Amino acid sequence: MLSERKSRYAGKRILIFSIMISFLNLVGCYYQQQMNPEEYNFDEKLDLQVTTKDTTYSLSAEDYYYDKDTLYATVSELMYKDDYWIRYKTATKIPVNEMEKLEIEKIDEAATIGIVAGFVLIIAGIMVIIAMETEIM
Protein backbone atom coordinates (compact mmCIF):
# COMPACT_ATOMS: atom_id res chain seq x y z
CA MET A 1 0.00 0.00 0.00
CA LEU A 2 2.77 2.44 0.94
CA SER A 3 4.86 1.60 -2.14
CA GLU A 4 1.81 2.09 -4.36
CA ARG A 5 1.32 5.60 -2.91
CA LYS A 6 5.00 6.44 -3.43
CA SER A 7 4.96 5.27 -7.06
CA ARG A 8 1.79 7.27 -7.74
CA TYR A 9 3.42 10.34 -6.14
CA ALA A 10 6.57 9.81 -8.23
CA GLY A 11 4.47 9.56 -11.39
CA LYS A 12 2.76 12.85 -10.55
CA ARG A 13 6.14 14.49 -9.96
CA ILE A 14 7.44 13.31 -13.32
CA LEU A 15 4.29 14.58 -15.07
CA ILE A 16 4.49 17.98 -13.35
CA PHE A 17 8.21 18.26 -14.12
CA SER A 18 7.60 17.41 -17.80
CA ILE A 19 4.86 20.03 -18.09
CA MET A 20 7.09 22.67 -16.49
CA ILE A 21 9.97 21.90 -18.84
CA SER A 22 7.66 22.19 -21.86
CA PHE A 23 6.45 25.59 -20.62
CA LEU A 24 10.05 26.74 -20.28
CA ASN A 25 10.50 26.17 -24.01
CA LEU A 26 8.04 29.03 -24.56
CA VAL A 27 10.02 31.50 -22.44
CA GLY A 28 12.35 33.94 -24.14
CA CYS A 29 13.33 37.55 -23.63
CA TYR A 30 13.74 39.76 -26.66
CA TYR A 31 14.71 43.37 -27.17
CA GLN A 32 14.50 45.83 -30.03
CA GLN A 33 17.77 47.34 -31.19
CA GLN A 34 17.64 50.54 -33.24
CA MET A 35 20.42 51.39 -35.64
CA ASN A 36 21.30 53.28 -38.77
CA PRO A 37 21.24 51.34 -42.05
CA GLU A 38 25.02 51.76 -42.35
CA GLU A 39 25.53 49.83 -39.09
CA TYR A 40 23.50 46.79 -40.09
CA ASN A 41 24.84 43.77 -41.95
CA PHE A 42 21.92 42.75 -44.20
CA ASP A 43 23.35 39.23 -44.52
CA GLU A 44 22.33 38.40 -40.91
CA LYS A 45 18.77 37.57 -41.99
CA LEU A 46 16.91 38.78 -38.91
CA ASP A 47 13.40 40.18 -38.72
CA LEU A 48 13.53 43.91 -39.49
CA GLN A 49 11.41 46.97 -39.07
CA VAL A 50 12.52 49.53 -41.66
CA THR A 51 11.41 53.13 -41.29
CA THR A 52 11.54 55.48 -44.24
CA LYS A 53 10.24 59.03 -44.50
CA ASP A 54 6.80 57.83 -45.62
CA THR A 55 6.35 54.26 -44.41
CA THR A 56 7.34 51.68 -41.83
CA TYR A 57 7.87 48.13 -43.13
CA SER A 58 7.87 45.04 -40.90
CA LEU A 59 9.84 42.34 -42.68
CA SER A 60 10.51 38.78 -41.68
CA ALA A 61 13.88 37.25 -42.50
CA GLU A 62 12.51 35.38 -45.53
CA ASP A 63 10.84 38.46 -47.05
CA TYR A 64 13.88 40.48 -48.11
CA TYR A 65 17.30 40.39 -49.67
CA TYR A 66 19.97 43.05 -50.09
CA ASP A 67 21.84 43.88 -53.26
CA LYS A 68 23.88 46.96 -54.25
CA ASP A 69 22.61 49.45 -51.64
CA THR A 70 18.96 48.46 -52.13
CA LEU A 71 16.73 46.29 -49.97
CA TYR A 72 14.32 44.22 -52.07
CA ALA A 73 11.33 43.20 -50.00
CA THR A 74 8.04 41.36 -50.35
CA VAL A 75 5.44 43.34 -48.43
CA SER A 76 1.91 42.30 -47.45
CA GLU A 77 -0.78 44.91 -47.98
CA LEU A 78 -4.52 44.99 -47.41
CA MET A 79 -6.98 45.99 -50.12
CA TYR A 80 -10.74 46.40 -49.74
CA LYS A 81 -12.56 44.66 -52.57
CA ASP A 82 -16.12 43.34 -52.92
CA ASP A 83 -17.07 44.11 -49.30
CA TYR A 84 -14.11 42.34 -47.70
CA TRP A 85 -10.40 42.84 -47.11
CA ILE A 86 -7.85 40.97 -49.22
CA ARG A 87 -4.20 40.59 -48.23
CA TYR A 88 -1.83 40.51 -51.16
CA LYS A 89 1.94 40.66 -51.51
CA THR A 90 3.88 43.17 -53.54
CA ALA A 91 7.56 43.58 -54.33
CA THR A 92 9.16 46.77 -53.03
CA LYS A 93 12.57 48.37 -53.47
CA ILE A 94 13.91 50.36 -50.51
CA PRO A 95 17.17 52.21 -51.24
CA VAL A 96 19.46 52.45 -48.22
CA ASN A 97 19.75 56.23 -48.53
CA GLU A 98 15.95 56.53 -48.01
CA MET A 99 16.00 54.49 -44.79
CA GLU A 100 15.85 56.57 -41.63
CA LYS A 101 16.29 53.75 -39.12
CA LEU A 102 16.21 50.00 -38.68
CA GLU A 103 14.96 48.02 -35.73
CA ILE A 104 15.94 44.40 -35.25
CA GLU A 105 14.63 41.99 -32.68
CA LYS A 106 17.31 40.04 -30.84
CA ILE A 107 17.10 37.50 -28.07
CA ASP A 108 18.50 38.48 -24.69
CA GLU A 109 20.27 35.28 -23.64
CA ALA A 110 21.20 36.45 -20.13
CA ALA A 111 17.63 37.44 -19.21
CA THR A 112 16.23 34.23 -20.69
CA ILE A 113 18.68 32.07 -18.75
CA GLY A 114 17.95 34.06 -15.58
CA ILE A 115 14.20 33.59 -15.90
CA VAL A 116 14.48 29.86 -16.64
CA ALA A 117 16.98 29.28 -13.80
CA GLY A 118 14.86 31.28 -11.36
CA PHE A 119 11.75 29.35 -12.32
CA VAL A 120 13.53 26.00 -11.96
CA LEU A 121 14.91 26.99 -8.53
CA ILE A 122 11.48 28.08 -7.29
CA ILE A 123 9.85 24.85 -8.47
CA ALA A 124 12.68 22.77 -6.98
CA GLY A 125 12.23 24.61 -3.65
CA ILE A 126 8.48 23.94 -3.69
CA MET A 127 9.10 20.27 -4.45
CA VAL A 128 11.61 20.02 -1.57
CA ILE A 129 9.12 21.62 0.83
CA ILE A 130 6.35 19.26 -0.30
CA ALA A 131 8.68 16.26 0.05
CA MET A 132 9.66 17.36 3.57
CA GLU A 133 6.02 17.77 4.58
CA THR A 134 5.05 14.34 3.27
CA GLU A 135 7.90 12.73 5.23
CA ILE A 136 6.76 14.44 8.43
CA MET A 137 3.22 13.16 8.05
pTM attached to this predicted model: 0.52
Residue 8 has a pLDDT of 62
Q: Give helix 109-136 / helix 2-24 axis angle, nearest 10°.
A: 170
Residue 82 has a pLDDT of 78
Strands (DSSP E) found in the chain: 30-35, 48-52, 56-59, 64-67, 70-81, 84-95, 99-107
Residue 2 has a pLDDT of 47
Residue whose C-alpha is closest to residue 30's, from 127, 88, 128, 115: 115
**Residues of the chain predicted below pLDDT 70:** 1-11, 22-28, 43, 136-137
